[in-house]
Structure 1
Amino acid sequence: IVDKHPDVADTLKRFKRIDPFRPKLEFDQPALLQTIIDIMLSTAAADDRRQTESLRSIKTLDDLSEELENRGFSISRSATYLRLIPRRSNTSEGKRHVSTVPVKLVRAQNTGRCPHEDSHFAAATVEYLKDLAILFGSKSVFVMSQDDKARVLLGIPAAKQQAPILMHLEYYIKLPDHDFVVAEKHKLIPSVYGALIFKSKQLSYSGSTYIGIRSGKHDHSTAFTHLADSYKCLSLTEFKCYSHTDDNKLKPILIVFTDGGPDEKPRFPKARQCYSDFFLRTNLDALF
């Protein structure tokens, strides 16, 4: 048949195999892997923040399988997934991904936020303040960052979380038989203050760090608590090497980076009152 019909010789030779086991799909469909790459690149876009070389696409695994089928490839959905990079290569399922392309199936994340119209303006302001600090130098500028971190649960609410906790030897926690927690919402509020230092004419977050912890049940994080913590930071020896000059005087320019929360936003009256008090008492030349 091969001699009489040379046009179908290549097709017929595929049925004559030396190996007894089933061949890979790439043997009969050699353009499969390259086609997957072409499909993903045609609908891919650059990373949002341009910080990595990865490309993101909005195609799902079903879309990819359907597109391969439309292009004449005979491949199942599970076989298509095995041609992609696994989530974890050290698992038994990940070891099945042998012939892969540089494409990975990712989960949808719920970390997206609505863009704010002033986001670029705020980012540019922060960069300008950093340039201002570098312009005046470390002898005249002290840069500090302040923020409240995630609250730490205590007691029964903490035990409800699926994480290890430290317990006292004299008692143990018994959880109720329902899903919701009925207990005092006692939490610890960590307020973190970090000193930014100058390294190679750039600002670095590798300075000293002060963490003020207060009870969420008996106290709140307000502009007045941040004011008290700021005075506390200036009195610490670990901060004085960054905030004071060689003659033990506070540097004339202070820059504070915050996330704009209700207890830190400068346009709020209480925050303005606290910043004004701090400016007058410390005899600053400029406060940003």
Structure 2
Amino acid sequence: MRVISEISDSLQKFSCRALRKEFIEKYVNFVKCPKPILRHMYFSLTGYEDSANCTMEQEIYERISKIISADDTQLLLDLRATDGSDSYYDILQVNERRKSEEMYMPLAISIETLKNEIAKRVPDGTPIPSNETIRLQFSPRNPFHNTALKYTGKFNVKFRVQTRQARVSHPDSHYAAKYFMYLKEFCVKFRENSMFLCMDDKAIIPVGEPGIPISTGVRGHNKVLAPTEGPLLVATDHDFHLGGLVPSVVFVTDIPEDPKDSFFSGNMHVRTKDKVFSPSSPLRHGAELIKLLRHTNNYSEDEANLSVPILCLYTDGGPDHRVTYETVKLSLALLFMQLDLDMIIALRTAPSHSWTNPAERCMSILNLALQHVALDRDEMESKYKKMTKNLSTLSSVRNQAKLKTGLKEAFEKSMESVVDTVNERFSQMTLKGNKIMAHKGLSDEEVLAFLDITAIGHGADSPVATLNTKRLLRKARRVKPLLLPD
């Protein structure tokens, strides 16, 4: 027995979550015992003790072990069966989803519908209580309020406002998460020779017509300081407007020393531009990123090439950053050549999983600068005002600007003060002690200048450089999105 014991201790034990799950699901319908008991039974049979994922799960394992070692079956019971009835209370039962914290109630839309549904189940002639009596059977919203004394709390359910933070599942989410994990490990391994950037566009900020300020739509969680006497804080909730601002966020991450540490620290840059004549596009993103890395915070030693040879980009799956699009590939090639890189890695999130992008978490900081704010653009000259009076779409304004000389410049001038105001408010925000740096968008001439890739070897005025630039622009305009198979 001593020899057998020594051999048993020296043998390696193997198991996996799939085998444990198969064992539990196989016997859970035949054995009337909780799943923790079956899990403990599996550990005892295999001799493999799985490590807990969290502290709470470890406490459950230890509590189950103590109960089983005490040899008292009365210590373990299901508290749902102690409500005074032989069966579970299934009238307001919430769908059980153990892997998430969302709760779904498919039965009751309101108290009236709840009463009608229950009335169909009871025999005819059963007294039905009023809506107010049913409402008082729920748990109070605020247990510290005086009205909580009227509630009985018989139904462990309360009225809540839906939080819109549910995460949509996607079959590629696991692979995208693994790629992101590998990318972080790669950046940590080569942290002295790489730079990790996260990019994303914030939602469009509406800008009202002259004299009609429109709210940004960001509602503050606290009240704003205002003088006791004077003008009121009023603005239109929505209106027909053409103007709007697109803040593009570039988050330069401080790469930690361990890939499991937080990547949510670094410098945050916001470039605000007009949505009408400076919309987001892959080539514009590439040009703006080149200028940012060349002239900000010593990312470039000679203001031409990047100080490190490896650039890692992490974006969402929007049309401006989808790596399967040819226009996005052209913008990545532009970054590779203009910054003199040895390697560029572009990774995107799975569909409906943009919340994994660290740049997405920066948007809440920008919302602090936009709460209690209403914006309107400046007045244009009368002749340009007449040109846009009956135009209600972006395409119509852009087409009109191609036909009428000076309309584009006049509209951009009317948006300058709005851009300065928003950037000034953005620059007041900080991310973990680092001030947010706000920039203006690039003009079309500056974007075209960055597209002149061959100007480095032939000169900006060279006919070869001009010809190659025109070919690149012509190809970028006529190319269609190309979806490659997974």
Counterpart-to-counterpart distance in 2, 1:145 and 1:259:
9
Equivalent of residue 261 in structure 1, options 308, 313, 318: 318
Change (3 A) 1:160 1:98: same
Q: TM-score, normalised by structure 1?
A: 0.63
| 2:292 paired residue number | 233
Residue 254 of structure 1, CA deviation: 1.9
* 3-state SS in 1 of match to 2:176: helix
Residues 281 and 107 of structure 1, relative CA distance in 2, 3 Å threshold: same
With 147-156 and 70-79 compared, the bigger mean Cα shift is at 70-79
1:258 Cα offset (Å): 0.9
Classify 1:43/1:187 alpha carbon distance in 2 versus 1 (closer, same or farther; 3 Å).
Answer: closer
Deviation at 1:186, TM superposition (A): 0.6
Q: Which amino acid is 1:66 matched to?
A: I
Please list, as runs of the form range in 1=range in 2, the aligned pairs for 1:22-41 lying within 5 A after superposition: 38-39=89-90
1:144 and 1:257 in contact (8 A); partners too: yes
Deviates more, 1:122-131 or 1:265-274: 122-131
- 1:266 & 1:140 partners in 2: Cα distance? 23
Cα offset, 1:41, TM superposition? 8.2
Name the residue aligned to 1:10: none
| Aligned residue among 113, 131, 137 for 2:185 | 131
Letter in 2 for 1:58: P
Which of 207, 212, 217 lines up with 1:154 in the alignment? 207
Q: Do the aligned residues in 2 keep the contact of 1:196 with 1:203 (CA within 8 Å)?
A: no
Q: CA deviation at 1:101?
A: 5.4
CA distance in 2, matches of 1:68, 1:31: 23
Note the residue ranges of structure 1 that are not aligned, 5 or more in a row: 1-29, 165-172
Paired residue type of 1:191: S
Deviations 1:61-119 (A, max 9, x none): 54487299859997544333333344556777667546365433345678878754434
Q: How does 1:159-198 map to 2 (within 5 A)?
A: 159=214, 181-183=239-241, 185-198=242-255
Distance 1:199 1:96 in 2: 54
More helix by share: 2
**Structure 1 105/182 Cα, relative in aligned 2: closer, same or farther at 3 Å?**
closer
Inter-partner Cα distance in structure 2 for 1:73 and 1:101: 19
C-alpha distance in 1, partners of 2:297/2:214? 35
Whether the aligned pair in 2 keeps the contact of 1:208 and 1:238 (CA below 8 Å) is no
Distance 1:161 1:105 in 2: 29
Question: Aligned residues, how many?
Answer: 240
Specify the alignment match of 1:58 in structure 2: 106
1:103 maps to a residue whose letter is V
Contact map agreement 1:208 1:239 (CA 8 A) in 2: no
Kindly tell me: are residues 86 and 233 of structure 1, through their superposed partners in 2, closer, same or farther at Cα, counting changes over 3 Å? farther
| Alignment check: 8 A CA contact 1:195 1:239 kept | no
Change in CA separation of 1:255 and 1:160 when aligned onto 2, cut-off 3 Å? closer
Are positions 1:142 and 2:199 aligned together? no
Match of 1:218 in 2: 277
| 1-structure distance, mates of 2:89, 2:192 | 56
Cα distance change of structure 1 residues 74 and 260 upon mapping to structure 2, 3 Å threshold: same
Q: Which runs of 5+ in 2 are unaligned?
A: 1-81, 221-233, 346-486
**Shift in alpha-carbon separation, 1:104–1:205, aligned structure 2, 3 A:** same
How far did 1:150 drift? 0.9
User: Conserved in 2, the CA contact under 8 Å of 1:221 and 1:263?
Assistant: yes
Distance 2:157 2:204 in 1: 38
Q: Distance in 2 between matches of 1:39 and 1:158?
A: 52
SS at match of 2:317: coil
Q: CA deviation at 1:195?
A: 1.7
Match of 1:46 in 2: 97
The 2-side partners of 1:252 and 1:58 are apart by: 55
After superposition, the Cα gap between the structure-2 partners of 1:106 and 1:279, relative to the gap in structure 1 and judged at 3 Å, is same
2: CA distance, partners of 1:45 / 1:79: 28
For the aligned residue pairs, the C-alpha RMSD in angstroms reads 4.5
Q: Report the Cα distance in structure 2 between the residues aligned to 1:104 and 1:222, rounded to whole angstroms.
A: 46
Per-residue Cα deviation, 1:32-75 (whole angstroms, up to 9, x for no partner):
9x99x843785432266x3x4x6544332544872998599975
Q: Is the CA contact 2:138–2:152 (under 8 Å) kept in the aligned structure 1?
A: no
Partner residue of 2:406?
Answer: none
Do structure 1's residue 84 and structure 2's residue 138 form an aligned pair?
Answer: yes
Q: Is the 8 A contact 2:138 2:155 kept in 1?
A: yes
Are 2:195 and 2:310, in contact at CA under 8 Å, matched by a contact in 1?
A: yes
Query: How far did 1:194 drift?
Result: 0.6
Aligned match of 2:307? 250
Q: CA, structure 1 residues 155+90, in 2 after alignment: closer, same or farther (shift >3 Å)? A: farther
User: Any residues of structure 2 matched to 1:99-138 within 5 Å, and which?
Assistant: 99=153, 102-106=156-160, 116-134=170-188, 136-138=189-191
Contact persistence 2:306–2:341 (CA under 8 A): no
